[in-house]
Amino acid sequence: MSNAPSPLRRIARQVYSRLHGSTTRVHGHDNQIELADSVRRHCRIRISGNRNRIEMAPGCRLWDLNLEIVGDDHHLTVGPGCEIRGGHWLLEDRGSRLTIGAGTTTIDSRLLASEGRAIVLGDDCMIGAHVEIRCSDGHSIVNQSDGTRINPAADVTLGSHVWLGSAVRVLKGVTIGKNTVVAAGAVVTRPLPESCVAVGIPARAVRTGTSWDRARLPSP
């Protein structure tokens, strides 16, 4: 049985999105935008470049998101059932990638994929308010002796079921294992194992063998 939205449902969702202030502006050629039956409210999508691709799976809900794609050959994928509230997502330079896994939720996130590198969020992640994830420092640090750059960009990967607390910063080259919780305000500069609780600047695991639940379970 196909999961593709019916033509009537697709049209209804498109009308809803337009009536609620969502806009899409494209400058360039050979760009592909597949919004399926995603629901968008006050979202702004802007593309300036060529051969870029946006894929939003059925059942996505996006409110007040500012999405910018600048340059060529970028790829954004949002999995089914995601709920995105606010934030600024930017893909820039050339060939960068941003992937949001199924069922992931974000609030006012700032996701910056650049220099042809990738940010990948696994399924069922919970990204707290004002989290920033980036795969580049944004500018170059060079050796004075020969002018070579010493801070190259690097991919960022979150496993499935990762919870980032409010105002967490995740910097380039980081991998966070599945089921991990990163406490509010932490700065993640190095890989974290799965099933742990991490705190601090820089973030470090202070407890292992843990997971988390979106529900507020009774205390023991």
Query: Cα(110)–Cα(99) distance, rounded to whole angstroms?
Result: 14
Please identify every residue annotated as catalytic. 139
- β-sheet bridge partners, residue 119: 98, 156
Query: Cα(130)–Cα(200) distance, rounded to whole angstroms?
Result: 17
How far does CA 30 lie from the centroid of its chain? 24
CA nearest neighbour of 23 among 64, 51, 54: 64
- β-sheet bridge partners, residue 133: 111, 170
**C-alpha pair distances (Å), 81 with each of 93, 100, 181:** 29, 10, 21
Q: Which residue is it, tokens 């998101």? A: 65
CA nearest neighbour of 104 among 52, 162, 21: 162
Q: Which residue is it, tokens 């990163």? A: 182
Phi, psi angle pair for 123, to nearest 5°: -70, 150
Query: Cα(203)–Cα(206) distance, rounded to whole angstroms?
Result: 9
- β-sheet bridge partners, residue 107: 85
